[in-house]
Chain A
């Protein structure tokens, strides 16, 4: 494999593995604030016990997020030196702000949150939880701002071949950013909601910790339903429209839309055949893609065949699958949470075994959907590292030989296998111990 592929593979692997943790951190931080608020408002000790239990999982998950996150900041320099040299003056702003404004906030108040309950009292401890939540969501904002700039660069000009930041405000209010940020955060809330609801289902199916489990459900099911709905509309919808407007070849590729047509169908299932440039075994809704994009069934949508080859994302089938897995799972999440919410509202969720089984077995899927969502964003941006400005093939470090990248990729594979195993064992142990 050539050096560029290895650089890409290592970054994709380390970033993908990392994001398994912050999505739960960010979502759970919000749900813990909700639990702490209920504990203060209602004075029911079950919410305090629940918050304590989730704080233990949170601490472990946060640790994994930190140790897998540091490599990413390093890799910008180690693996993507030419990209960093060209774009550091712009995205360095958001990355340095993340360190200054969110990491310090998060980590300091995590100390208070995990160690300071007795010292701070209930109100002080609520504030510690809230500031950890604020820090983690700010962190998401700065990271998504960085990514949004790479998807849709704004606030810059080219001076003597160099990318120069000209508007800091434009960087922080990138039109791409608002939708992408909310979409990402809602994805995190869906993960945390399914983890919390699934854990509750696990306890209820086993006849353990029933009081706490029902408290988990009262918080996670409404949150999960709201987040799953908002993920599809308006945030997912607006993201797709932005991709259509600014990255039209990517839009055609991720939808599996090869031929320009005035009544473009929405593809549900099918396998892209890159030899014949067609979709095999397609299952689609006629005219629906035109409708979703233009709000009329006859709006023309340009197919991938009509874009020059150098504008195509370099892995069309993977992009297509990533997008369809994300969107398909997103739809399933709405259905599952709607079912659970209906039963919760009727007061029968805790005894509806079939629904509880669904919630339990769905735990891994929001992780898959979030990963597939990031793959859609990143594969969709190809062949560009900064859309329209710098190609990925010009971005990697030239001075690092492929043997060195392979060496560290193997190292990361081994190390992260160990981390995954440790996390599974330790989180499993906490779940077995349960809320005391």
Chain B
């Protein structure tokens, strides 16, 4: 494996971990909209010590993308200028909503911030799903590898596309559904209550929605089909996702919520890995002439920097693994009956 390919895997891995970790608090945030007031309190309580660390995966993953593939970072971020600004503003409202609903004790403002948290979680899930949809579909890159995507144009996937078209809107909706399921499983193991039942009810819809999106992706981005045909080993990822999907159900039925949540983590990560494997070597494909797409090899930083990067990235991630293990072990007990954690 060459260095750009290796960093392609590492960056994708970090972003997948972002979706796994922040995904559960985004999903819990979506469910927060539908919970009763005392349930809302418990949902937020279950996220308190974790969400700061979870959102760092986005920053660290983004920073790593910037360092390994600066041209992709520059062109994708400027091309997706408007939706990324929307993401930023949603992240602000989500963070404010979560923290202030927790710390403001006021009859008017506490519920207000709670709703802020819930709605921005929902919108963020949709926007992230649509963003992934954009990367899968490809963008109208010009000969210099640049583009600019308005919010919407004609809602088709060809030519001068916007960020939103029928396919990316579908991807956004499916992402919201998958993360809601993931969030329900988090809540089932963290605070119990009726959240296991909610996850069970979401199980079939999630399966059908992901199948639908997969079919749509094959038609929108033929490169995925070609790549899987050429490298059938890549079927390991969708199989792993299916395994996680079935496993989550099994463990839910037998009442082992923590394992069900782990299965859901596997499923979410494997779904992303499937998409990323299908897109390789493209980090950002073109929706027109495939040769205009931005590939890992074509946009990677020079070899010296990529080699040096491994020297700090590996120990850095080992430290992060230690932090997260200690954090999750320390606060896992807070979910036991009677423990409020404050």
- Output the least CB separation between A316 and chain B (Å): 31
Indicate if A78 sits at the interface (CB-CB under 8 A): yes
Contact pick for B67, options A66, A88, A109, A422, CB 8 Å: A88
B45-59 toward A: CB 8 Å interface, digit per residue (1/0)?
000111011011011
**How far in angstroms is the closest Cβ of chain B from A132?**
11
A89 and B146 in contact (CB under 8 A), knowing A70-B91, A96-B309, A110-B52?
Answer: no
B316 A100 Cβ-Cβ under 8 A:
yes
> In the assembled complex, which residues on chain A have CB atoms less than 8 Å from the CB atom of B104?
426
Q: How far, in angstroms, from A422 to B148 measured CA to CA in the complex?
A: 34
Whether A104 lies near B323 (C-beta < 8 A) is yes
Q: Is B35 an interface residue (CB 8 A)?
A: no
Which residues between 389 and 424 of chain A lie within 8 Å of chain B, taking CB atoms? 397-401, 404, 407-408, 411, 415, 419, 422
Contact A100–B327 (Cβ < 8 Å): no
**A166 at the A/B interface (Cβ < 8 Å)?**
yes
Contact of B74 among A85, A107, A159 (CB under 8 A): A85
Question: With A100-B312, A100-B320 in contact, is A81–B64 under 8 Å at CB?
Answer: no
Contact A400 B48 (CB under 8 A): no
Bitwise, A99-112 to B at CB < 8 A (1) or not (0) is 11101110111111
Complex: A240 Cα to B88 Cα, angstroms: 36
- A154-177 CB contact bits vs B (8 Å, 1 = yes)? 000001001011101000000000
Determine if A96 and B85 form an interchain contact, defined as CB atoms under 8 angstroms apart.
no
User: Contact between B88 and A74 (Cβ–Cβ < 8 Å)?
Assistant: yes
Instruction: Decide: A104 near B76, CB < 8 A? Known: A111-B49, A112-B49.
Output: no
Closest residue to A119 on the B side, CB-wise?
B330
Q: List 17 A-B contacts (CB under 8 A).
A: A76-B66, A77-B77, A78-B77, A78-B78, A85-B75, A98-B63, A99-B56, A100-B60, A101-B319, A104-B53, A104-B56, A104-B320, A164-B305, A165-B304, A399-B79, A419-B96, A426-B104
**Identity of the chain A residue whose Cβ is nearest the Cβ of B66 in the assembled complex:** A92
The answer to whether B64 touches A96, judged by C-beta atoms less than 8 angstroms apart, is: yes
Interchain CB contact under 8 A, A404 and B82: yes
Interface string of A73-84 (1 = CB under 8 A from B): 110111111111
Residues of chain A lying within 8 A (CB to CB) of residue B33 = none
Task: Given A81-B77, A93-B305, A95-B63, decide whether A108 and B70 contact each other with a Cβ distance below 8 A.
Answer: no
Closest 3 CB pairs of A and B: A88-B70, A77-B77, A92-B67
Q: Give CA–CA (A287, B304) in the complex, Å.
A: 49
Given contact pairs A96-B63, A104-B323, A115 touches B48 in the complex (Cβ within 8 A): yes
Q: Mark B283-307, 1 if CB is under 8 A from A, else 0.
A: 0000000000000000001101100
Which among B64, B73, B146 has the highest number of chain A CB atoms within 10 Å? B73
Residues of B within 8 A of A292 (CB): none
CA distance A105 to B89 in the complex (A): 25
Q: Mark B13-41, 1 if CB is under 8 A from A, else 0.
A: 00000000000000000000000000000
Please list the residues of chain B having a beta carbon within 8 angstroms of any beta carbon in chain A. 48-50, 52-53, 55-56, 58-64, 66-68, 70-71, 73-82, 84-85, 87-89, 91-92, 95-96, 99-100, 103-104, 146-148, 301-302, 304-305, 308-309, 312-313, 316-317, 319-320, 323-324, 326-327, 330-331, 341-342
**Chain A residues near B (Cβ < 8 Å):** 59-60, 63, 66-68, 70-71, 73-74, 76-85, 87-90, 92-93, 95-101, 103-105, 107-112, 114-116, 119-120, 159, 162, 164-166, 168, 397-401, 404, 407-408, 411, 415, 419, 422, 426
**Which of A59, A77, A82, A400 has the most chain B CB within a 10 Å cutoff?**
A77
Which residues of A lie under 8 Å from residue B92 when comparing CB positions? 67-68, 415, 419
A81 to B80, CA, bound (A): 11
A408 to B95, CA, bound (A): 20
A73 and B62: CB pair below 8 A?
A: yes
In contact, A399 and B148 (Cβ under 8 angstroms) = yes
Chain A residues whose C-beta falls within 8 Å of the C-beta of B53 in the assembled complex: 104, 107-108, 111
Closest CB in chain B relative to A147 CB, distance in Å: 16
CA distance A97 to B55 in the complex (A): 16
Task: Pick from A67, A79, A95: contact of B66, CB below 8 A.
Answer: A95
Q: Which of B49, B53, B78, B79 has the most CB of A within 10 A?
A: B78
Report whether A89 and B305 are in contact in the complex, using a CB–CB cutoff of 8 Å: yes
Are A397 and B56 in contact (CB-based, < 8 A)? no
A407–B86 Cα gap in the complex (Å)?
11
Question: Which residue of B62, B68, B75, B327 contacts A112 across the interface (Cβ within 8 Å)?
Answer: B327
Which residues of A sit under 8 angstroms from B82, Cβ to Cβ?
A: 404, 407-408
Contact of B302 among A101, A114, A119, A164 (CB under 8 A): A164
Name the CB-closest residue of A to B75. Answer: A81
Q: How far is the CA of A272 from the CA of B331 in the complex (A)?
A: 59
Nearest to B333 among chain A residues (CB) is A119
Q: Is the CB of B341 within 8 A of A115?
A: yes
Q: Are A89 and B59 in contact (CB under 8 A)?
A: no
Residues of B within 8 A of A97 (CB): 63, 312, 316
Contact (Cβ within 8 A) A400 B88: no
Closest residue of A by beta carbon distance from B324: A108
Q: Which single member of B301, B309, B341 contacts A88 (CB below 8 Å)?
A: B301
On chain B, the residues within 8 Å of A95 by CB distance are 63, 66-67
Q: Considering only CB atoms, which chain B residue lies closest to A66 in the complex?
A: B95
Least CB separation from A10: chain B residue: B85
Which chain B residue shows the least CB distance to A85? B74
- In the assembled complex, the Cα of A60 lies from the Cα of B103 at a distance in Å of 10
Interface pair A81/B330, CB less than 8 Å apart: no
Indicate if the CB atoms of A107 and B52 lie closer than 8 Å: yes
Is the pair B301, A411 in contact by a Cβ cutoff of 8 Å?
no
Q: Is the CB of B147 within 8 A of A399?
A: yes
Contact with A93, one of B103, B309, B341 (Cβ below 8 angstroms): B309
Residue ID in chain A nearest B327 by CB atoms? A108
Which of B50, B58, B63 lies in contact with A100, CB distance below 8 A?
B63
Contact B66 A111 (CB under 8 A): no
Q: Which residues of A contact B80 (CB under 8 A)?
A: 78
A residues within 8 A CB of B62? 73-74, 99
A67 to B308, CA, bound (A): 30
The chain B residue sitting closest to A416, CB to CB, is B92
Whether A103 contacts B56 by the Cβ 8 Å rule is: yes
Please pick, from B58, B89, B331, the residue contacting A116 in the complex, using a CB distance under 8 A: B331
Contacts of B66 in A (CB 8 A): 73, 76-77, 84, 88, 92, 95-96
Contacts of A79 in B (CB 8 A): 78, 81
Knowing A84-B70, A85-B75, A165-B302, the reply to whether A92 touches B63 (Cβ < 8 A) is: yes
Residues of A within 8 A of B48 (CB): 111, 114-115
Tell me the minimal C-beta distance from B48 to chain A in angstroms. 6
CB distance from B108 to the nearest CB of A (A): 14
Known contacts A73-B59, A85-B71, A111-B52, A63 near B302 by CB under 8 Å: no
B63 touches A73 (CB 8 A): yes
Q: How far is the CA of A89 from the CA of B308 in the complex (A)?
A: 11
